[in-house]
C-alpha cells in the first residue's frame, strides 16, 4: 500500500521539531498525526506541557503551535502494508533543507523512535548543527518500556522550550 505523509504542523516561531517515521494506518484513515488511540504521543504532549488532555485534533495542533513545537515525519512517501516501521519499503524522505530554511528558529530535533532517527540519518544531510534526541517510540507496538518510563524521557522537551 502506498502511504504519503501529512503536511507539517508548524509555525515560523517553532523551536523544536518532532519527527515520526510515517503515519500508520489509523492515522491515515483519520487524516491526523498519531490518530491511533493507543499511541501515547498526544497524552505525552498534554502532560509535558501542563494542559488538560483533549481528543479534539484542532486543540492538539494548537497546543503544539502555542508551545513552538513543529511536528512532521521523516518520510514523505513509502510502500507499507500495515503500520509497522519495519514494513516500510521504497521510502523517500521529506525536504528538510527547505523546511528548516523557512523555520530558522528550530534548534532541536526529536525523533519519535529509533526508526525515525535511522531514516533521517540515512537520507538527510544538514549543514547546520542541531541538538538531536532519539526518544522511545510512542507507538503501542513499542511495549518494551512503561508509559511512565517513556514519559520521563519525553520530558526532555521541557528543557528545550
pLDDT at residue number 31 = 94
If one counts the domains in the chain, the total is: 1
Q: What's the chain's average pLDDT?
A: 93
- Interval 96-117: pLDDT, tens: 999 999 999 999 999 999 999 9
Percent of the chain whose pLDDT exceeds 70? 98
- Higher confidence at residue 142 or residue 42? 42
pTM of the predicted protein model: 0.94
- Residue 32: the pLDDT is 96
Cβ count near 133 (within 10 Å): 17
Strands 108-112 and 131-135: parallel
CATH assignment of the domain containing 29: 3.40.470.10
Please give, one letter per residue, the 3-state secondary structure of the chain: CEEECCCCECCCCCCEEEEECCCCHHHHHHCCCCCCCCCCHHHHHHHHCCCCCCCCHHHHHHHHHHCCEEEEECEEEEECCCCCHHHCEEEEECCHHHHHHCCCCCCEEEEECHHHHHHHHHHCCCCCCCEEEEECCCCCCCCCCCHHHHHHHHCHHHHHC
> Given a cut of 90, is residue 73 above it in pLDDT?
yes
CA distance 161 to 2: 36
pLDDT, mean of residues 28-35 = 94
Residue 81: its pLDDT value, please?
78
Domain holding 135, by residue range, is 2-160
pLDDT at 25: 86
- With H, G, I as helix, E, B as strand and everything else as coil, classify residue 41: helix
pLDDT of residue 84: 67
Which of the 8 DSSP states describes residue 33?
A: T
So what's the pLDDT on residue 68? 98
The per-residue pLDDT for 3 is: 81
Amino acid at each position: 500500500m502506498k502511504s504519503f505523509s501529512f503536511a507539517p504542523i508548524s509555525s515560523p516561531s517553532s523551536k523544536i521539531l518532532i519527527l515520526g517515521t510515517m503515519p500508520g494506518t489509523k492515522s491515515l484513515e483519520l487524516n491526523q498525526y498519531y490518530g491511533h488511540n493507543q499511541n501515547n504521543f498526544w497524552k505525552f504532549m498534554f502532560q509535558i506541557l501542563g494542559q488538560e488532555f483533549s481528543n479534539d485534533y484542532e486543540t492538539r495542533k494548537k497546543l503544539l503551535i502555542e508551545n513552538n513545537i513543529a511536528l512532521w515525519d521523516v518520510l514523505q512517501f513509502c510502500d507499507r502494508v500495515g503500520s509497522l516501521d519495519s514494513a516500510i519499503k521504497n521510502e523517500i524522505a521529506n525536504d528538510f533543507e527547505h523546511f528548516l530554511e523557512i523555520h530558522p528558529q528550530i534548534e532541536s530535533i526529536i525523533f519519535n523512535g529509533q526508526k525515525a532517527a535511522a531514516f533521517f540519518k540515512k537520507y538527510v544531510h544538514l549543514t547546520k548543527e542541531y541538538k538531536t534526541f532519539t526518544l522511545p517510540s510512542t507507538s503501542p507496538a513499542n511495549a518494551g518500556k512503561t508509559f511512565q518510563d517513556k514519559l520521563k524521557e519525553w520530558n526532555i522537551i521541557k528543557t528545550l522550550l
